[in-house]
Amino acid sequence: MAEIVNKVAQSGLITFNLEEHLPAQIKGFDLAPFLFQGLILKEKDFRAALKEHDWAAYKNFDVCLFCSADAIIPHWAYMLLTSYLAGVANSIHFGSIAECKKIIFLENLKNIDTSQYADKRIIIKGCGEAEVDTYAYVEITRLFLPVAKSLMYGEPCSTVPIYKKKK
- What does the mean pLDDT of the chain come to? 92
Q: Is residue 60 left, alpha or beta, with left meaning phi > 0 and alpha meaning psi from -120 to 50? A: left
60: closest CA among 30, 111, 23?
23
**Tens-digit pLDDT profile for residues 94-113:** 999 999 999 999 999 999 99
42/15 same-domain check: no
Would 66 be classed as within a structural domain?
A: yes
For residue 96, tell me if it sits in a domain. no
- Per-residue pLDDT of 114-149, as tens digits, reads 999 999 999 999 888 888 999 999 999 999 999 999
Side chain identity at 25, as an amino acid letter? Answer: Q
Angstrom distances, CA of residue 94 to CA of 15, 45, 102, 106: 33, 22, 12, 15
Look at the pTM and tell me if it is higher than 0.85: no
As a whole-number percent, the residues of the chain with pLDDT over 70 amount to 94
What values do phi and psi take at 34, rounded to 5? -95, 0
What range does the domain containing 142 cover? 7-21+110-164
User: Once rounded to an integer, what is the mean pLDDT over residues 18-47?
Assistant: 94
On whether both 58 and 81 belong to a single domain, the answer is yes
Distance CA 96, CA 104 (A): 12
- Provide DSSP, 118-131: TT-EEEEE---SS-
